Amino acid sequence: MKEVVIVAGLRTPFVKAGGAFKNLPAYDLTARLIRELMLRLDFPSDKIEEVIIGNVIQSVESANMARISAVLGGLPNHIPAYTVNRNCASGMEAISQGFDKIRHGQAKIILAGGAESMSSIPIFSYSPELTDILMGASKAKTAAQRLQILSQLRPQHLKPGVINQNDPIADMTMGQTAENLVRDFGLTRQEQDEFSLRSHQLAVAARPKLAEEILPILIPDGGKGEAVLDDIGPREDSKLESLLKLRPVFDKDFGSVTAGNASPITDGAAIVLMMDVETAQEMGLEPLGYIRSYAYAGLEAQRMGLGPSYATPKALAQGKIKFSEIELIEINEAFAAQVIANERAFASSDFAEKIGLKAPLGEINRDILNVNGGAIALGHPLGASGARLILTLLKEMGRRGNSLGLASLCIGGGQGASFILERK
């Protein structure tokens, strides 16, 4: 088996959906990253053997957005590309597939990552009757036939309906699954909002560091051109008193999950360049880090937020290391409640017994958790977040001189993903 390294990575700023990136498809954001990364490294792009990109909400106009991204990003036509979807872990899925291909000698160099334009999420739908009428009219052979079919239209046919956003397995929204964890672990509104405030404060303080992984994006605007330089989400003016005043969103009567302690809907992309260690040495490229192991796990969809607590023991076992050896941690902040619940589960003997462990993993030290803020402040573009976690973690491990790090996230539908990363 070959050792696999990540030698470089880049991401866009993360921008709230409906904002500056609203007219930029996911493939456009990804193509810009590919082109820029090749330029910065002066990398021979024809040496890349495959492109793998995670994306959750693919547009019918841009199926297999990975291929579109690769070609528009300036890569030669002979380089194949494909798109993967594991919901929130799609970026990690792309990287894990690249890891496996390189480790087993099927490729030497792969570009992988993830992207999401959550501005493109379809919100409204129209009745099947309207679709049938319009389809029938399009097939009419004469104007008279077309008018006859269109005469069936009624005002109610033109009224849009809101698309059901519930997870089809859990039959609830992701926010409602977070409320389940609030009840299961007895979490308070105060501790959730305090965690949210921490995320914003750390992200604001980390702007200069995060800038090292960000490509500023120029927005076409009739020749005016606006540049988005960094993440839009972190709030310098975030205050606990303001967060505590926000109303619950998912359980309006008894809930505590709010817009303030949940990750915002976001657009963004992130990629990494992977290769086997021998190829990196031959090309004179210094690794950001090694992929030691990874794992995915399934669990009850109604409590999908506990995914890291299920996947991390598997990743640690595959990497043959102990949780106590981990020096830096990135857990995706889908919700403050979800991260805090995982903190409790990691340290719980009852939870360890439930999932077949002899002992709990141990306490998560907040001093090494999401030290540059997390998705509550930065945002959570579904397909991109997994790749962003890995890139951010490796960059910070390099600054601190850490040897082992953990990147993990929960996955809608009831899964978890964890990566163990290493610097030598």
Q: pLDDT digit string (tens) for 267-293?
A: 999 999 999 999 999 999 999 999 999
Task: Give catalytic status of residue 157 as yes or no.
Answer: no
Work out the angle between the directed axes of helices 174-185 and 336-346 (0-180°, nearest 10).
40
* pLDDT tops 60 at residue 124: no
**Is 78 a residue of the active site?**
no
Q: Is 104 a catalytic residue?
A: no
Place of tokens 């991204």: 69
The pLDDT of 161-173, averaged and rounded, is 79
* Arithmetic mean of pLDDT over the chain: 94
Per-residue confidence band for 222, with pLDDT thresholds at 50, 70 and 90? low
Instruction: Check residue 152 and report its DSSP letter.
Output: T
Hey, is 212 helix, strand or coil? helix
| Pair 258, 246: CB distance under 8 Å | yes
Handedness of CA 99, 51, 10, 276 (dihedral sign): positive
- What is the rounded CA–CA span in Å between residue 10 and residue 304? 29
Where do the DSSP E strands lie in 229-327?
Answer: 266-276, 289-298
Using 50, 70 and 90 to split pLDDT, how confident is the model at 164?
Answer: low
The model's confidence at residue 84, banded by pLDDT at 50, 70 and 90, is very high
Distance CA 20, CA 160 (A): 26
CATH architecture of 4-121+264-422: 3-Layer(aba) Sandwich (3.40)
pLDDT at residue 39, as a whole number? 98
- Orientation of helix 307-319 relative to helix 336-346, angle to 10°: 50
78, 104, 157, 410: the active-site residue: 410
Give the model's confidence band at 121: pLDDT under 50 very low, under 70 low, under 90 confident, else very high: confident
pTM of the model: 0.93
Catalytic residue among 104, 157, 200, 380: 380
Confidence grade of residue 355 (pLDDT, cut at 50, 70, 90): very high
Residues 217 and 211: beta-carbon distance below 8 Å: no
The domain ranges of the chain are: 4-121+264-422
**Set 78, 88, 104, 157: catalytic member:** 88
Over residues 23-52, the pLDDT tens digits come to: 999 999 999 999 999 999 999 999 999 999
Is the pLDDT score of 223 beyond 60? no
Supply the pLDDT for residue 160: 63
